Amino acid sequence: MGKVWLLVFGIFLLNSGFILCDDDPADAEEDELDLNEIAEENDVLILTDANFQNAIADNEIILVEFYAPWCGHCKSLAPEFEKAAGILKENDPKVTLAKVDATVEKDLASEYGVSGFPTLIFFKNGAKTAYDGPRSSDGIVSYMKERADPSWKPPPDLVLHLTKANFSEFVDTAELILVEFYAPWCGHCKQLAPVLEKAAQGLQAFDPVIPIYKVDCPKESDLAREYEIKSYPTLKVFRRGKVFDYTGTERTAHAIVSYMENERRPPSTEVTSLSAVKKFMKTDDVTVFAFFKANDAAFETYENAANELRSDYDLGHTFDREAMTFYKVNAPSIAVFTAENFHTKHEQKYHVMPITKDSSVEEIRAFIAEHSIPLVGEYKTSNRATRYRGKYPLLIMFYSVDWSHDGITATQLWRRKLADIAKDHRDMTFAIANEDDHAELLKGFGFEDSGEEINIGILNELANKMPQEESKFPMPTFDSFDSDEIREFISNYKAGKISRKYKSQPVPKKSKAAVKTVVGSTFEKIVGDKSKDVVIEFMFSGCSKCKEFAPKYTALAKQYAKLQKNLVFAKIDNTLNEFPEAFLVDSFPSFYMVPANGDLSSPAKFSKEEELTPEIS
């Protein structure tokens, strides 16, 4: 029997590129030449990762379409694009049209920031510019002829660089700006770049203009450290030098413009009378409201906090004494009011925090966050990343939530029944959710085909969040609401008796492939097989290093198949499946080993530096 170190050495050799190969180098050279050839279809070049750069270098002016075969807009564009290609190839100077299947050439699409289909980019002397012209053949021809003119120059970038030398000059005096902290090699940053440029164009319409800047973090490491940048890209909002987190969840140009437009408004609405305060109180969401005396020194502290919280809540404040008397609140204070629709007899109607000019933004934020969700609130796509972030374990009851006049009675009936249970489990968070708004989450729990009126599941946080965000624990389906069954489910969950549901691709057909494909639902069975030593690769389809390594990994698996029958080589797509969180994946490809009679809670991770010596049984 071999030793684990031998296997590690084999993987080390593969990662280093040293592996015996029977292929004739001449054949490889011939294959490479074939890959670099550029095919043509209806006057449109067909580009791949292998020939893309050659095509850009060989064509002074080239318009490239990144498309997906299933995309309806791409199908509509195809005949217009081909017609334009036939006309433009006769233009002087010649304009070449080309296309890339982005579902196949994923790395190429990622490199050029393709996030939707079709995406068109034109290159002039190698310099790329986003295409924002018409999608008809005549429009494409006219647009590209104008840009082919030798006198045409691309418009200047609106998103400009900041450095350590000029950062304070621009940031400290600006009323409102958005800054992207990025790395040139980051794929997500490349995808965001054209989005930010388009958003910057939209923000030109405001008076005053809201600028967008960017910081190259590897070059400007001092700025990255100062602002505690831990991932790329990171967006920050600045107001006269004060920094605030960008909390928008969508990364589209429209969403960024809308977010920054909201940032222009006062962070808190002043309400001037008791009747107006009553109207401001929400019936369907939490209300955060502050009370002050005239010229109160604590008001500036509140405003600073409000600027950070403005995206999560509608905030209001008043200097009206009658309102303070009515709500029995002393100024200066902040109160968090439970929405009328969500208040129950088991909780206070509102919570009050006295503040002073020395109160910190963190204290105010923590107070509001603690009381921003009721005993049983509503989990929505709009609040899951804000109100319910970190509120684990989170039990969600899915059903048809309807707040209309006809539906509110049934909605409240189920919610109040759940509240009677929630009051006894204050160490958990409880919420209802409209099943029609959470198809993906229902699927994650395995409820998509349950057919039941009510489904219940628990979400919990994971230490390993790449790509998994939350673990899911479904309650077995039941015919009708039964408080005792739900209480038992909660008790079993707390005792660790409820099995986790793993996101999974369909189970693949049986195969004699040297490398076994594992999915979420088969992970424990295959990788946790007590009779086998299992090496598993964590990869994803768009990973270029994974593709490069695949034939080498298969070769190693075939070599060991002849030597050790109880040694299994496997792989799993990290982006489409979930697995036990002990398998921490922080780069691709990553490799783990679980020996026979081993434990899935303590797998061994392979690295070039690691030396493992236990016997393979």
How far apart are alpha carbons 229 and 209 in whole angstroms?
26
The secondary element (H helix, E strand) that includes residue 460 is: strand 455-461
E-state strands within 299-419 = 315-318, 333-337, 350-354, 376-378, 394-399
* Catalytic one of 74, 217, 543, 546: 74
Contact 310, 372 (CB under 8 A): no
Dihedral, CA atoms, 546, 549, 550, 551, nearest 10 degrees?
160
How far apart are alpha carbons 164 and 32 in whole angstroms?
45
How far apart are alpha carbons 126 and 124 in whole angstroms?
5
Contact 536, 592 (CB under 8 A): yes
Size (the chain), residues: 617
Contact 605, 612 (CB under 8 A): no
How far apart are alpha carbons 571 and 231 in whole angstroms?
27
Q: Tokens 């919420």 appear where?
A: 431
- Judging by beta carbons within 10 Å of its beta carbon (0-12, 13-18, 19+), is residue 554 exposed, middle or buried? middle
How far apart are alpha carbons 33 and 45 in whole angstroms?
17
The secondary element (H helix, E strand) that includes residue 160 is: strand 160-161
Contact 383, 350 (CB under 8 A): no
Whether 71 is a known active-site residue: answer yes
Closest CA to 417 of 434, 403, 397: 397
Q: Tokens 């290609």 appear where?
A: 85
How far apart are alpha carbons 496 and 520 in whole angstroms?
20
How far apart are alpha carbons 313 and 302 in whole angstroms?
14
How far apart are alpha carbons 540 and 588 in whole angstroms?
8
How far apart are alpha carbons 431 and 418 in whole angstroms?
9
How far apart are alpha carbons 357 and 134 in whole angstroms?
56
Dihedral, CA atoms, 579, 581, 586, 592, nearest 10 degrees?
-70
Contact 374, 342 (CB under 8 A): yes
Give Cα separations from 332 to 274, 304, 316, 328, 423 (angstroms): 17, 15, 13, 12, 31
* Catalytic one of 21, 71, 217, 543: 71
Phi-psi region of 597 (alpha: psi -120 to 50; beta: other; left: phi over 0): left
The Cβ-side half-sphere exposure at 612, using a 13 Å CA radius, reads: 24
How far apart are alpha carbons 458 and 470 in whole angstroms?
10
Dihedral, CA atoms, 314, 319, 320, 324, nearest 10 degrees?
80
What phi, psi does 170 have (nearest 5°)?
A: -85, -40
Which positions are annotated as active-site residues?
Answer: 71, 74, 186, 189
